[in-house]
Amino acid sequence: MPARLLILALALLLSACARGPDTDGLKIYRHSLGGAPSSLDPVQSATVYANHVVVNVYDTLYAYKYLKRPYELKPNLAAAMPEVSDDGLTYTIPIKKGVYFIDDPAFPGGKGREVTAADFVYSMKRHFDPKMRSQGAWLWAGRIEGLDAWKKAGAHYDQEVPGLRALDRYTIQIRLTRPYPQLIHTLAQGFSAIVPHEAVDYYGREFSVHPVGSGPFKLETFDSVRAVLVRNPKYRREPIDLAYEGYDPARHARYGIAGIEGKIPPLVDRLEIHFIKESLSRWNSFTKGDEIQYATIPKELLNEVLLQKQPKIVLRKRYADKYFMLAGLENGFVHTDFNMKDPAIGYNSDPERQKRNHALRCAIRYAFDWAERNRTFYNDMGFVFPGIIPPVVPEYDPDAPRDALEHNPDKGRRLLAENGWTADNLPTLTFGGVASVDSRQMFEQFRGWLLKIGYPREKVQFDSYASFGDYNRAVKQAKVMIIGMGWGLDYPDAQNTLQLFYGPNASPGSNASNFNDPEYNRLYEISSVMQPSPERTRLYRKMNRIVLDACVTISGLSRRNIYLWHKNVISYPDQSIVGGFHLKYVDVK
């Protein structure tokens, strides 16, 4: 190996004969993301970044319409929306015929074969095979008849799973253990992408960097700074129907999107997705002109780039001349939770102390100043809302009372005094956070507020963790007392955020606060099997109220992102939910 290294190094330095890929005349689009995926195996596609690549090299049964907002599902590899039985337990899904995997040495003769319903069954089974190290199994755990039993019996792929069958070559049938209204949403995620078993067997562990799919693109190279995808010549030809995709002239005409009507995706020959963590480096590359063509504005430069922020966002002329802009709220939110498992501020075997803890948490919440936090860290553009139902989901209540967001140090002080809290008996508060300038500053800001309700300075401390992995581990082991977290929506349904406070989801699950309220749990279980309806929305909002009254979280703020792209690019971008699905519709003039 050392000899090979040396030769490679010399070759790189002295080569005048090696030529790059011939990109003359090709249409190239260079996208950028704020982070990198580690694995491209759908079974591990847990991050937004991985999803962007996965949904472009693989097919999922369903996807989201390109332009429709609020988001709406549409068939992708499926031929139609599913046929659901009356009891809501059986889903029958037809898939399109004549869809082929790309050519790859994994297939006999190197030619990719047709995609069948059995491939979907195989892909889903992989989530329950321990050897595959799935990160998405939680979406379907305990929901599909026989799947968990299949796993317990040793995960043999030749064994049938009663709830997951290919009725024939092109028909899938899923049988659930109880109604799961969000099932179709899960079938639009990268996790559910369809993979051929030949490739998994052939490449083994390296399958995660050597994808073989049936999506609009195929992967050419992948490293820690970018992924290069090229058009898949075998991709099914489906002309764009803009009306179907949700085109609305009032919102979309100014970006020139009408021009892609009738064209056949993918519209570019070569798609480069650059992974750039440093916002300033990303911005420099974006403004260069011949590098990336899409970026978000770095926080530090917002005042330099924007002319005004309220009531409408407007770019300064020299930027408005060169770039299109789209501003939108993220599909997620940030919030700060209290760890209820910690008897100092949460559940306590002494009912008197538990009551006082409740008052303490509410007092701390009064100290929190959302307006100032928004101004300092989110450029005054974040959207603050009470509770855990963010503004982007249909069940959001714009008229919900905002008392939980109130910044009132006097009320905080009074609460503490009324409940027997003094500077001597107040518990030491420990904030957890990743080791970074922002976390530290957020902590120092919060500490400053706590001083105003009478908290002694030495009793407010910061526990910094070297990396997000360490922090995450501590949170999942319920070791962090006050947890600053963000949540990205997996699908546009409030159930995805309400499950964050469902008792059985406590650590190591996603319920980082370890909240466990019997009434909340009851309402959650009832609403989780209901289809969207006004009654369900009422229940959701009631649950939101329970969380707010318990003062278990200080929530929440949805960040506003501003996307810019070069004017020769025809696109309507989206970071998540539609996310990577939009890339096949991007055209370059």
Partner 1 sequence: MEILQYALRKFITGIPLILGVTFISFLLMVYFGPDKTYELAGKNATPEQIAEIRHQLGYDRPFLVRYGEYLRELVTLDFGYSDSTGERVSHILERTIPISLALILPGFVLGNLLGIALALVAAHHRGRWLDKLIMGGSVVGMSISFLIVIIAFQIIFCSNYGLGWFPVRGWNVYDFWDYLRYVTVPTLATVFVALGYNTRFYRAVLVEELGRDHVRTARAFGAPPAEVLFKHVLKNAMIPIITRIMFSIPFVVVSGALLIESYFGIPGVGLVTYDAITTGDQPVLKAVVGLTAVLFVLVLILNDIFYKLVDPRVSLQ
Partner 2 sequence: MSATAAPAARPVSESLWGKAWYKFRRDRFGMAGLAVVLVYLVIALGVWLGLWGQHWSSVEGPMWAPPGPDYWLGTNIIGQDIFERAIYSTKTAFEVGLVVAVLSTALGGVLGALAGYWSNRWPDELILWLMGVLDAIPFYLFVAAIAFALQDNPYAMHIAMIATFWTTTARLVRGEVIKLKNFEFVEAARAIGLPQRLIIFRHILPNTFHILLVQATIVFVSAIKSEVILSFLGLGVKDGVSWGVMIAESTQEVQAGHFSNFVTASAFLFVLVMAFNLFSDALQDALDPRKVSA
Determine how β-strand 460-465 pairs with β-strand 429-434: parallel
Q: Half-sphere exposure of residue 341, counting CA atoms within 13 Å on the CB side?
A: 16
From the list 485, 489, 487, the residue with the least C-alpha distance to 577 is 489
Partner that binds at residue 114, options partner 1, partner 2, none, CB closer than 5 to 8 Å by kind: none
Query: What whole-number distance in Å separates Cα of residue 145 and Cα of residue 161?
Result: 7
**Residue 1 binds which of partner 2, partner 1, none (CB < 5-8 A, kind-dependent):** partner 1
Q: CB of residue 382 vs partner 2: minimum separation in angstroms? A: 16
Q: How far is the CB of 306 from partner 2 (least distance, A)?
A: 12
* Contact status, residue 357 vs residue 348, Cβ threshold 8 Å: yes
Shortest Cβ 54–partner 1 spacing (Å)? 14
The pair of structure tokens assigned to 513 is 């606060």
- State which residue, 129 or 406, has the beta carbon closest to partner 1: 129
Q: Which does 208 bind (CB under 5 to 8 A by kind): partner 2, partner 1, none?
A: partner 1
The residue behind tokens 């792929």 is 157
Residue closer to partner 2 (CB basis): 159 or 477? 477
Name the binder of 462 from partner 1, partner 2, none, CB < 5-8 A by kind. partner 2
Task: Output the smallest distance, CB 426 to partner 2, in A.
Answer: 17
**Nearest distance, CB of residue 179 and partner 1, angstroms:** 19
Q: What is the CA radius of gyration of the chain?
A: 26
**Separation between Cα atoms, residue 186 and residue 68, nearest integer Å:** 19
Q: 203 vs 572, which CB is nearer to partner 1?
A: 203
CB closer to partner 2 out of 198 and 372: 372
389: nearest Cα among 492, 484, 475: 492
**E-state strands within 35-193:** 62-64, 73-75, 83-84, 90-94, 164-168, 171-175
Q: Which residues bind partner 1 (CB under 8 A)?
A: 1, 4-5, 8-9, 12-16, 18-20, 38-39, 41, 44, 46, 130-131, 133-138, 141, 205-209, 223-226, 274, 276-278, 280-281, 284-285, 287-292, 466-470, 472-473, 476, 499, 505, 508-510
By beta-carbon proximity to partner 1, the closer residue of 119 and 272 is 272
The answer to whether the CB of 223 falls within 8 A of the CB of 204 is no
> Residue 158's CB: how many other CB atoms inside 10 A?
4
Shortest Cβ 206–partner 2 spacing (Å)? 26
Nearer to partner 1, 328 or 509 (CB): 509
| Cβ-based neighbours of 132, under 8 Å, separated by 6 or more | 41, 43, 126
Structure tokens at 455: 């908290």
Partner whose footprint covers residue 375, from partner 1, partner 2, none (CB < 5 to 8 Å by kind): partner 2
When CB distances are held under 5 to 8 angstroms depending on the partner's kind, the choice from partner 2, partner 1, none that residue 169 binds is: none
436 versus 568: smaller Cβ distance to partner 2: 436
What distance in Å separates the CA atoms of residue 60 and residue 72, rounded to the nearest whole number?
15
Q: By C-beta, is 40 or 305 nearer to partner 2? A: 305
- Distance, CA of 230 to CA of 215 (rounded, Å): 11
Instruction: Note whether 478 and 511 are within 8 A (CB).
Output: no
Binding site for partner 2 (CB under 8 A): 280, 298-301, 303-304, 375-376, 435-437, 440-441, 444-445, 447-449, 451, 457, 461-466
Residue type, 150: W
Q: How far is the CB of 415 from partner 2 (least distance, A)?
A: 22
Which does residue 444 bind out of partner 2, partner 1, none, counting CB within 5 to 8 angstroms by kind?
partner 2
Contacted entry of partner 2, partner 1, none for residue 389, CB cut-off 5 to 8 Å set by kind? none
CB of 548 to partner 1, least distance (A): 23
- Interacting residues of 529 by C-beta distance below 8 A, sequence separation 6+: 88, 178, 179, 180, 181
Bond from prior residue into 266 cis (ω within 30 degrees of 0): yes
State the minimum distance, in angstroms, from the CB of residue 474 to partner 2: 11
CA neighbor of 495 nearest in space, from 533, 524, 535: 524
Side-chain half-sphere exposure of 264, counting CA atoms within 13 A: 8
Q: Which is nearer to partner 1, 287 or 374 (CB)?
A: 287
Query: Distance between CA atoms of 120 and 114, rounded to whole angstroms?
Result: 12
Residue 445 binding partner per list partner 1, partner 2, none, with a CB distance cut-off of 5 to 8 Å that depends on partner kind? partner 2
Q: Which does 436 bind (CB under 5 to 8 A by kind): partner 2, partner 1, none?
A: partner 2
Q: How far is CA 579 from CA 179, 391, 480, 530, in A?
A: 27, 18, 32, 27
Q: Which is nearer to partner 2, 18 or 466 (CB)?
A: 466
* CB 471, min distance to partner 2, A: 10
What, of partner 1, partner 2, none, does residue 298 touch, CB below 5 to 8 Å by kind?
partner 2
Q: How far is the CB of 443 from partner 2 (least distance, A)?
A: 10
| Cβ 464 to partner 2 shortest distance, Å | 4
Quick one: what does residue 285 bind among partner 1, partner 2, none, with the CB cut-off 5 to 8 Å set by partner type?
partner 1
> CB-wise, 181 or 412, nearer to partner 2?
412
Residue 587: exposure state from Cβ atoms within 10 A (0-12, 13-18, ≥19): buried
Give the 3-state secondary structure of residue 10.
helix
Cβ 586 vs Cβ 29: under 8 Å: yes
- Pick between residue 146 and residue 298 the one whose CB is nearest to partner 2: 298
**Residue placing its CB nearer to partner 2 in the complex, 285 or 497:** 285
Q: Half-sphere exposure of residue 474, counting CA atoms within 13 Å on the CB side?
A: 21
Q: Residue 441 binds which one of partner 1, partner 2, none, with CB within 5 to 8 A depending on kind?
A: partner 2
Evaluate whether 492 touches 70 at the Cβ level (below 8 Å).
yes
Rounded to the nearest whole angstrom, what is the least distance from the CB of residue 283 to partner 1 in the complex?
8
Local structure of 233: helix, strand or coil: coil
Locate 104 and state its tokens.
């790859």
